[in-house]
Structure 1
């Protein structure tokens, strides 16, 4: 049986490119993972997501445990079969959603008790239960259960949450057990404080994981503060294991993270933006609902090979968005996911050829040009 492994192919400065191997297929890094919250990437078919270049999807433990339920998914053959995606899946631990979405939550050393935002039902999530749910789902990469405090928070609060998360990481490792072909990732916490990040990384390395995530960023601290942490945090983690920055981000966030040594990222942005009429292009953001596009026969991006750009005009995309047609979200989501994967492929090539700095300069220069002139 294929085991979970990570091979580093090339570095350019701090940027890295490599390959994660799993029984369900290879993941080229740096990798962007589209988010399939409720066992679907909204407005996309699984084969369409694959066609954009995605090697791996993310599923949400919190949402799936509430609806349709992890036990039900297991009875139906596991998450891969359930959602018709046979390639790797990473599931988050549920910790972040419990903190941000659940009602009336109560946090103790044992875990978190909360009421569902769906129907008000009461649930108890612990490191052990999180591992059990993710095992029932059958995900390839499992995340340790952690507490992610919203920033800004006091140093004492960040330190308390980080140390609790490290104790939960140890319990997660124990509960995960021996599962050949599956991987457990620990999550570094510590806010924007270097000493706490280092303490967290040391605790995780002592436990030992197949990969390591940088959590607690992209939660309102701003890009400058996030890059400030990423200037040192990836270096605290083992070089021979994948590094995953959770919940990031915009194209320039992604490029800045890879430049600083990150291998994996996920974000709802491409799909959420697509459903609200926002397209991300090499020349920055395009708001398709704006009247300037109503008579424009040109594509969103003449260099893009996605279906939205090869088959439809800005005028059409403007029309279907204004008319509330489903195809609007479908086409714009496809375009956005395609563009994000194009960025990843561009970086992988540039790093392997030792020209990342030149690629990055061109990326920023194109975006600075802004959208094409209006007709």
Structure 2
């Protein structure tokens, strides 16, 4: 299999490392935070803004794009990249998590999953083979296997069943992906480790994912309702099970604390809707913790959102103005807050990469979190 991931440097004090993913739409420096563009757009942020911040890869959602606008439209547009005018890389998830969130409206069988659309209630079926084919139509630079995502608190028996089905689906997904690759598709397939919060099942699922020998491996089934201590324990436990030479991806994390914890454990990729979702509700990141710009005491606060941030929002607009935009329900508030939050996380990860290269990641993490956790307003 052609290598596409190169480790550039490892910090000797922990498992943090920097690297490069070589993908069809250009190289991606890791560790990397990927903004989520569920419907083929990162909410409230333009493609030009994503480029100006420096993002090299974003995430889109197979489930949502499959339902709307549908594969006929995207196929006619020659793929998702030209359809949304994004010339850099796209990772697409399999839709497994979205189907998981529709638990009352889904049926999981060996052959695949049947679910009812959240849009109009229509019935649809997704197989592991079909999900690979959909993502090939999208032109995904990285695509995820269809998996069974499980929630916090389920039984061992249910967790084991999910691991077994996920592994069976992986075998079928890989076969279809290899057939697509033989016909010119250049995107990479990632397997997903499940196992819920049972360590022997994590080991079993990781072994099956490693045996499948996909280009990369994702850690699934975290940040699904468990507490922070449990998350950190199972993140560390699962990460060391994975091969060093392949990119590791933890799905669905976006707080500075979780991102830095993941980087320390040698995780290369992560994504989350958090920066844009919280931006739309008036919460923004700062180096002294996240704050609400809608509070009454912002009315006469003419300082920037974050004095330590050099993004265009912090350079040009005040907290008082942002509060005014929020109170008057102006769309510009969502646009500016989302831009700032994405810029903040992108810069955090960029600074983390620099710290790794200089063998000082742990002190960087400690200093950042000391200010971030201790200075929240």
TM-score, normalization by structure 2? 0.96
Choose which of 335, 339, 347 in structure 2 pairs with 1:330: 335
Choose which of 301, 308, 317 in structure 2 pairs with 1:312: 317
- 2:166 maps to 165
CA deviations over 1:349-371 (Å, ceiling 9, x no partner): 00111001110111111113424
Question: What pairs up with 1:211-250 in 2 under 5 angstroms?
Answer: 211-250=216-255
- 1:11 maps to 10
| Alignment partners' CA distance in 1, 2:327 and 2:67 | 34
Q: Give the conservation status (yes or no) of the 8 Å contact 2:23–2:187.
A: yes
| Alignment partners' CA distance in 2, 1:261 and 1:11 | 9
Q: Give the conservation status (yes or no) of the 8 Å contact 1:103–1:114.
A: no
- Determine whether 1:345 maps to 2:346: no
| Alignment partners' CA distance in 2, 1:7 and 1:213 | 17
| Alignment partners' CA distance in 2, 1:333 and 1:72 | 28
Quote the RMSD (CA, aligned, Å). 1.2
How many Å apart are 1:47 and its aligned residue? 1.5
Q: Give the conservation status (yes or no) of the 8 Å contact 1:103–1:115.
A: no
- 2:365 maps to 360
Q: Give the conservation status (yes or no) of the 8 Å contact 1:255–1:360.
A: yes
Tell me, what secondary structure is at the counterpart of 2:290?
strand
| Alignment partners' CA distance in 2, 1:128 and 1:368 | 45
How many Å apart are 1:221 and its aligned residue? 0.8
| Alignment partners' CA distance in 1, 2:152 and 2:97 | 13
How many Å apart are 1:101 and its aligned residue? 3.2
Q: Give the conservation status (yes or no) of the 8 Å contact 1:115–1:121.
A: yes
CA deviations over 1:147-195 (Å, ceiling 9, x no partner): 0011111111111111110111111101112426320000000112221
Q: Give the conservation status (yes or no) of the 8 Å contact 1:102–1:117.
A: no
Q: Give the conservation status (yes or no) of the 8 Å contact 1:103–1:117.
A: no
Paired residues in the alignment total 370
CA deviations over 1:120-162 (Å, ceiling 9, x no partner): 1110011011111101101100101100011111111111111
| Alignment partners' CA distance in 2, 1:101 and 1:332 | 30
Question: What pairs up with 1:45-60 in 2 under 5 angstroms?
Answer: 45-60=46-61
| Alignment partners' CA distance in 2, 1:330 and 1:5 | 35
Q: What residue ranges of structure 2 are gaps of 5+ in the alignment? A: none
- 2:140 maps to 139
How many Å apart are 1:23 and its aligned residue? 2.1
| Alignment partners' CA distance in 2, 1:167 and 1:304 | 47
| Alignment partners' CA distance in 1, 2:71 and 2:103 | 18
Q: Give the conservation status (yes or no) of the 8 Å contact 1:4–1:181.
A: no
How many Å apart are 1:103 and its aligned residue? 5.4
Question: What pairs up with 1:1-375 in 2 under 5 angstroms?
Answer: 5-12=4-11, 13-101=14-102, 104-178=105-179, 179=181, 181-371=186-376
CA deviations over 1:26-77 (Å, ceiling 9, x no partner): 1110000000000000001011012222110000000000000123201111
CA deviations over 1:232-255 (Å, ceiling 9, x no partner): 211111111100000012110110
Q: Taking structure 1 as reference, are residues 4 and 142 closer, same or farther at Cα in structure 2, changes over 3 Å only?
A: farther
Tell me, what secondary structure is at the counterpart of 2:105?
strand
| Alignment partners' CA distance in 2, 1:43 and 1:101 | 25
| Alignment partners' CA distance in 1, 2:169 and 2:75 | 25
